[in-house]
Structure 1
């Protein structure tokens, strides 16, 4: 019962915090647009107009169709990147020569903006679904592989020596010692890969005429409808936070509980 009350209080504090942010936003709009006329209404929207636009997008099902299309693409592309990233990361940890020579290249590829891969995707696949999925996958694969490599390399050697002293060999060391110890770093890398995947998705959808949140964002830009642009940005943030809370947050919580790192 006490835990439930604490949770409710924490939730109310968060709601209050965001309400204050919205009020500050509205205050800035009133002063900057209506009173001092520093900005034009079409360059700085009010939270009320953004909310109304959001309701309109939901009512005509534009937002629903866009969300379903975008979520489908990002989960396919991100799943591919996770599989490829894990394979590449494990291969580099196994072979020192590849680690020494391939790691700098992968690190450089990670810093390359995802939009740079779009010309390749269009030339190879055309303006279709496959091109966007390719950009998503290539945009987050390197972050995942680096996370796997760093997570395994940063495992305390004392754990491995202790396991060998107790008789563990081969895959038992990987499965029972290295993998659990590397999980925190790997999860952080997976979260980073997810953020890269979102950026790649938006880049692909904004530059290709296809259904999705990026396309709705571009329509708002073409119509000079800043409220629609802001509404889509809010939806993207909400989706990102939801996935982080429901998937990555739960995984991190399970890892902390397993390692006895839960706060009292």
Structure 2
């Protein structure tokens, strides 16, 4: 019985993987056909030309330095924005005066174009730090808003019960508010990772931050090296995808550990 269930699960997993591979191959074939029809690597390089470009880039140590520095900026900006967003979001959700104090700042940052934020920040600080600060400013409102919504969505019945039994405020925050906020915080984290990559690379280009992936993209465009432009773009997409999947894996792993601990207790 157990072996049958495992077999069905494996078959289902293989089908899902097969579908994903099929979809990926379809889009690669479409890309290859479009490149063949255009017949100009200057306008649209083929998938093979793009892979050759990646192989060329990988042979230079500067390639890994650029990726490493950009990753540090992405992780730094996202981590600070999520950490502060969760902390201040919890306070904002629980304290109306603090929410009213912070909300105008968050609303202004949300409404400002990314380019305006980058240009303004570039006037005040060194170009190498601009991408990190801009990533923080753009991702912070996402986390803040989600966490505040999570606090406001907390089950009122649980709060009333805690009030009846005179549960300590810190215990209410730990055992009621934080579990309610967790799904919202996870959603904010995933959005921040995707947004962080876009904002960081854009800021690197506009702020002339070196070394960086963004400036390599810019140089590829300036020198009309479309093969390398596509190669760098592919590298950005893959890095973002891998980070997102690893983050999801870690979150699911922590969930399973938490569930196992609850069962044991």
Query: Structures share a fold, TM > 0.5?
Result: yes
Whole-Å separation in 2 of the counterparts to 1:135 and 1:167 = 44
1:177-188 aligned within 5 A:
177-188=176-187
Distance 1:164 1:255, change over 3 A: farther
- Offset of residue 247 of structure 1: 1.0
Matched residue SS, 1:74: helix
Shift of 1:220: 1.0
Q: 1:242 Cα deviation (Å)?
A: 1.1
* 2:117 paired residue number: 117
1:162 is matched with 161
How much does 1:66 deviate?
1.6
d(CA) in 2 for partners of 1:252, 1:155: 22
Deviation at 1:112, TM superposition (A): 2.3
Match of residue 55 from structure 2:
55
Q: How far apart, CA to CA, are the structure 2 residues paired with 1:186 and 1:214? A: 28
Correspondence for 2:34 = 28
Question: Structure 2: which 5+ runs fail to align?
Answer: 1-5, 261-265
Residue matched to 2:175: 176
Cα distance in 2 for residues equivalent to 1:7 and 1:166: 47
Distance in 2 between residues matched to 1:257 and 1:161, nearest whole Å: 30
1:184–1:255 Cα contact (<8 Å) kept: no
**6, 11, 14: which is aligned to 2:17?**
11
Does the CA contact (< 8 Å) of 1:155 and 1:178 recur in 2?
Answer: yes
Number of residue-to-residue matches in the alignment: 253
- TM-score for both structures, normalised by structure 1: 0.84
Query: How many Å apart are 1:105 and its aligned residue?
Result: 4.2
- Spell out, residue by residue over 1:112-142, the C-alpha distance to the aligned partner (whole angstroms, 9 max, x if none): 2333222333222233x22222122222112
Match of 2:246 in 1: 246
Distance 1:55 1:41 in 2: 17
Q: Quote the offset at 1:244 in angstroms.
A: 1.3
8 Å CA contact 2:93–2:149 kept in 1: the answer is: no
Gaps of 5+ in 1: 35-39
Q: Is the 8 A contact 2:205 2:218 kept in 1?
A: yes
Runs of 4+ in 1 over 4 A off after TM superposition: 252-260
In the alignment, does 2:226 pair up with 1:226? yes
For residues 249 and 162 of structure 1, do their structure 2 counterparts lie closer, same or farther at Cα, with a shift above 3 Å needed? farther
Contact 1:89 1:146 in 2 (8 A): yes
Per the alignment, residue 37 of structure 1 pairs with none
Indicate conservation of the 8 Å contact 1:187/1:252, yes or no: no
Q: Is the 8 A contact 1:114 1:138 kept in 2?
A: no
User: What's the offset of the Cα at 1:229?
Assistant: 1.6
Cα distance in structure 2, aligned partners of 1:215 and 1:154? 43
Judged with a 3 Å threshold, the aligned counterparts in structure 2 of structure 1 residues 104 and 231 are, in CA distance, closer, same or farther, namely same
TM value normalised by structure 2: 0.84
Contact 2:50 2:227 in 1 (8 A): yes
- When residues 15 and 166 of structure 1 are mapped into structure 2, their CA distance, relative to the original with a 3 A threshold, is farther
